Amino acid sequence: MDPASLLLLLLLMFASTINAQFPVTHCGSTGNFAANSTYQTTLTTLLSSISTTNSLSLSYGFFNASAAISGASQTLYVFGLCRGDLTAVSCRTCLNVLASDIRRLCPLQKEAFLYTDNCVIRYSDTSFLGVVATEPSYVVRTSYEVSSPDTYDAVLRKLLNALWAEAAGGGSLRKYASGNESAGPDMIYALVQCTPDLTKQQCSDCLMIGVQTIRDCCAKYTGGRFMVPSCLILYETNYQFFDPVSQPLPPPPSPPPGMLGLVQS
Ligand SMILES: *[C@@H]1O[C@H](CO)[C@@H](O)[C@H](O)[C@H]1NC(C)=O
Ligand SMILES: *[C@@H]1O[C@H](CO)[C@@H](O)[C@H](O)[C@H]1NC(C)=O
Ligand SMILES: *[C@@H]1O[C@H](CO)[C@@H](O)[C@H](O)[C@H]1NC(C)=O
């Protein structure tokens, strides 16, 4: 089966909350590099820079690095995204774990993509910044149905629509929103996020697919996940699985002199 078109729907029996097997691993199908090649050494160097990169970008929840592969007219891109409620320290820890997982699980693949609940890592020799990617997708739900599906579905839709708009409007550093809303006896907790390189419209497009997918697969169940390279949606019932106070956004570095004229008011 073509991994790019694989839609994975795991039904987590006997689980009231999502507790999937992580990391979810997608080793690319675009070919392999040779062991000990410059491709491999460049990849190793880029991934190890997660440990040394300054914490400013990690406090926005992303890691972004690229380098030319010596001897080849190729550039390698590495991108990491952490959930918007993680601190820079937790983000670095999460990405470091995935960086070592990705080398172990996809040892020679030219591109790969791994998710956990808290962070995502991806590398490729094709730039994926500014491109909406909705494959491969990872969709899971709990096996427990909610008691009043119609009320629940309406409230979940309202909550996701509000978070969707807030995340898409989040600016170029972080596109993240979380919140909760009560549905009868239940409290729904949800978070949505896009990679920050997307435009508002691109983020909105990705989340539109996510909200529709969640409504089709999961909205009668107590928890669900929609995770694709460009965006994610997570929700749970009566379980506040995120830090409701999201990390404050530190000010971006001041633009170099001469660039100020380009800033739009
Ligand atoms: C790659 O390098 C390692 C360590 O230097 C060596 O053990 C291994 O045989 C090399 N593999 C290839 C395919 O050259
Ligand atoms: C969200 O949950 C908190 C407690 O976790 C509660 O105090 C608050 O009223 C809830 N907000 C909404 C909109 O239901
Ligand atoms: C990621 O890095 C590239 C250059 O390597 C840069 O052009 C781009 O703006 C960066 N993206 C973000 C979201 O910082």
Does 197 sit in the ligand 3 pocket, CB within 6 Å? Answer: yes
What pLDDT score does 20 carry?
Answer: 60
What pLDDT score does 70 carry?
Answer: 87
Residue-by-residue pLDDT tens, the chain, 265 positions: 333 333 344 443 334 455 567 889 999 999 999 999 999 999 999 999 999 998 788 888 999 999 999 888 899 999 999 999 999 999 999 999 999 999 999 999 999 999 998 999 999 999 999 999 999 899 999 999 999 999 999 999 999 999 999 999 999 999 999 999 999 999 999 999 999 999 999 999 999 999 999 999 999 999 999 999 999 999 999 999 998 876 666 666 555 544 443 433 3
Asked whether 119 and 95 are in contact (CB, 8 A), the reply is yes
Distance from C-alpha of 224 to C-alpha of 218, rounded to nearest angstrom: 6
What is the position in ligand 1's atom list of the atom closest to the CA of 34? 13
Q: What SS3 state is found at 53? A: coil
**Rounded distance from Cα 239 to ligand 3 centre (Å):** 35
* Interaxial angle between packed helices 38-48 and 88-105, expressed in degrees from 0 to 180 and rounded to the nearest 10: 160
Distance from C-alpha of 265 to C-alpha of 252, rounded to nearest angstrom: 16
Report which protein residue has its CA nearest ligand 2's atom 2: 180
CB within 8 A of 163, min separation 6: which ones?
177, 178, 179, 190, 191, 192
What pLDDT score does 54 carry?
Answer: 83
Task: Out of 159, 187, 245, give the residue to mutate to test ligand 2, the one with the largest number of ligand atoms within 8 Å of its CB.
Answer: 187
Report which protein residue has its CA nearest ligand 1's atom 1: 36
User: Residue 110 forms beta bridges with which residues?
Assistant: none
**Rounded distance from Cα 84 to ligand 3 centre (Å):** 18
Distance from C-alpha of 247 to C-alpha of 88, rounded to nearest angstrom: 9
What pLDDT score does 247 carry?
Answer: 62
What pLDDT score does 27 carry?
Answer: 95
**Dihedral pair phi/psi, residue 76, rounded to 5°:** -105, 135
What pLDDT score does 251 carry?
Answer: 64
User: Residue 69 forms beta bridges with which residues?
Assistant: 74
Q: Residues near ligand 2 with C-beta < 6 Å?
A: 180-182, 187, 240
What pLDDT score does 149 carry?
Answer: 92
The topology (CATH level 3) of 138-237 is: Killer Toxin P4; Chain A (3.30.430)
**Rounded distance from Cα 37 to ligand 1 centre (Å):** 10
Q: Residues near ligand 1 with C-beta < 6 Å?
A: 35-36
**Rounded distance from Cα 5 to ligand 1 centre (Å):** 34
What pLDDT score does 245 carry?
Answer: 76
What is the position in ligand 1's atom list of the atom closest to the CA of 36? 1
**Rounded distance from Cα 35 to ligand 1 centre (Å):** 7
**Rounded distance from Cα 189 to ligand 2 centre (Å):** 9
Task: Out of 182, 189, 240, give the residue to mutate to test ligand 2, the one with the largest number of ligand atoms within 8 Å of its CB.
Answer: 182
What pLDDT score does 19 carry?
Answer: 56
Class for domain 18-124, per CATH? Answer: alpha beta
The length of the chain is 265
Domain ranges in the chain with CATH number 3.30.430.20: 18-124, 138-237
Give the number of C-alpha atoms closer than 13 A to the C-alpha of residue 202, restricted to the C-beta side.
19
Report which protein residue has its CA nearest ligand 1's atom 6: 36
What pLDDT score does 7 carry?
Answer: 38
Instruction: Report the alpha-carbon angle 65-87-132, nearest 5.
Output: 45
Report which protein residue has its CA nearest ligand 3's atom 13: 197
**Rounded distance from Cα 68 to ligand 3 centre (Å):** 14
What pLDDT score does 6 carry?
Answer: 34
